[in-house]
Amino acid sequence: MTQNRIHNFNAGPAALPLEVLEEIQASFLDYKGCGMSITEISHRSKWFDDIINDAVARTRRLLGLDDRYQVLFLQGGASMQFAMIPMNFLAHGQSADYINTGTWSAKAIKEAQIQNKTIRVAASSEDRNFAYIPKAIDLDADAAYVHITSNNTIKGTQWAAFPDTGKVPIISDMSSDIMSRPLDMDRFAMIYAGAQKNIGPAGVCMAIVRQDLLDRVPDTIPTMLRYTTFSGKNSMYNTPPCFGVYTIQLVLKWIEETIGGLEKMAAANREKGDRLYGFIDNSGFYQGTADADSRSLMNVTFRLPSEDLEKKFVADALALGLGGLKGHRSVGGCRASIYNATRIDAVQALVDFMKNFMDKNG
């Protein structure tokens, strides 16, 4: 571990690869000899053209995107997409299906309801406090789209396999597991992600949208809320979040060139998850909160025998350089976010601490 750097298990903003941070640091005052910081160059310059075009090209290669898909960089986070999606893609007289797997799904549902759009909750795991991914799904074959949240950061659940929706387009919020595993993009009409959990810093949202959805966008909604505004201008209708896009470009480069692609990224993430869940399951002291077949490989949520012990656990861990282990304020408990940039040695350091804490407090 680099001097003064802790093992970062924050849920977002979250860990970035050290190699990326070092490259940013090296070029921050003078980007590629231009005499300006990356935060100072014009978004209309050749330097930034090269950055955004490379980010798009790497996204296309990593996900195997064909020409039907547009890669967009937007502001407003994933939360803005909750409103934009029904605004752009759900016309009067149509209905959309939503699957409710927790806080972020519920927020997406609420934003559609605010606009008086017609939606159905086709499945929900609310009956057991969102501890699982529902298997019984009542889909409408005529729905305009079905919306899912691929990974639930708060409850620690994740879709291991995506639902068969037939001809109904899937739109997925992938804020916390984008680029963590290969995807069959033919299954999706749109995926989107706030960058700050797995591919970059806060302030930029990546959206990948298929052309048949873009063809639905009406011209009667505000310009800045239309996906076509950005798809027609390479995400540069106005000034984009340049530094965020630059960081995403470097993270994608790291996944592609240092890790070796999404298959290898997925294998590394499985190894981290297996090590941490394996210890929790066999401890007799820590208790996972998600059903085994629905567990997230990005956010490992668990409880200790008492809230007092949980507070002590979080404090003692931080004192030893293990940060970000407090659970979301809405649910309590503990949570270790082990996104792409979290290394196996950080997970092993956490397991070692958890064993020592259990031996002393069990």
244/266 same-domain check: no
Output the pLDDT for position 27. Answer: 92
Neighbours of 116 (CB within 10 A): 8
Are residues 75 and 221 located together in one domain of the fold? yes
pLDDT of 153 reads 97
Q: pLDDT tens-digit profile of 314-348? A: 999 999 999 999 999 999 999 999 999 999 999 99
Does 121 have pLDDT greater than 80?
yes
Domain boundary among 201, 224, 259: 259
Q: Is the pLDDT of residue 71 over 90?
A: yes
Domain count, the chain: 2
User: Which contacts qualify for 90-93: CB closer than 8 Å, 24 or more apart?
Assistant: 90/117, 90/118, 90/119, 90/144, 90/145, 91/144, 91/216, 91/218
Average pLDDT of span 176-196: 97
Judge whether residue 29 has pLDDT over 50. Answer: yes
Active-site residue (options: 117, 155, 197, 326): 197
Residue 273 has pLDDT above 50, yes or no: yes
281 and 224 co-located in one domain: no
pLDDT of 247 over the 80 cut: yes
176 CA to centre of own chain: 2
Q: Are 161 and 234 within one domain?
A: yes
Mean pLDDT of 120-144: 97
Q: Both 132 and 61 in a single domain?
A: yes
Q: What percent of the chain has pLDDT over 70?
A: 99
pLDDT confidence band for 1 (50 / 70 / 90): very low
Choose the final residue of a domain: 259, 275, 305.
259
Q: What is the number of residues in the chain?
A: 362
- Asked if 253 and 266 sit in the same domain, the reply is no
Mean pLDDT taken over the chain = 97
Look up tokens 């950005």; give the residue: 230
Domain span holding position 278: 261-361
Residues 77 and 201 in one domain: yes
Which tokens go with 31?
């980007």
Whether residues 206 and 306 fall in one domain: no
Instruction: Indicate the SS3 state at residue 51.
Output: helix
Active site residue 104: yes
> Looking at the structure, do residues 39 and 89 belong to the same domain, yes or no?
yes
**Residue 173 designated active-site:** yes
Q: What number is the average pLDDT over the span 197-224?
A: 97
Catalytic member of 104, 117, 254, 272:
104
Tell me, yes or no, if the pTM score tops 0.95. Answer: yes
Same domain, 221 and 340: no
Sheet holding 118-124, edge to edge: 69-74, 205-210, 188-194, 170-173, 146-149, 95-100, 118-124
For residue 330, the domain's CATH number is: 3.90.1150.10
The CATH number of the domain holding residue 235 is 3.40.640.10
**Residue 186: how many other CB atoms lie within 10 Å:** 10
Q: Is the pLDDT of residue 286 over 90?
A: yes
Q: Given this model, what pLDDT does residue 3 score?
A: 64
Distance between first and last Cα of the chain: 29
- Summarised one tens digit per residue, pLDDT across range 150-167 is 999 999 999 999 999 999
pLDDT computed for residue 84 by the predictor: 98
Catalytic site residue from 173, 254, 272, 326: 173
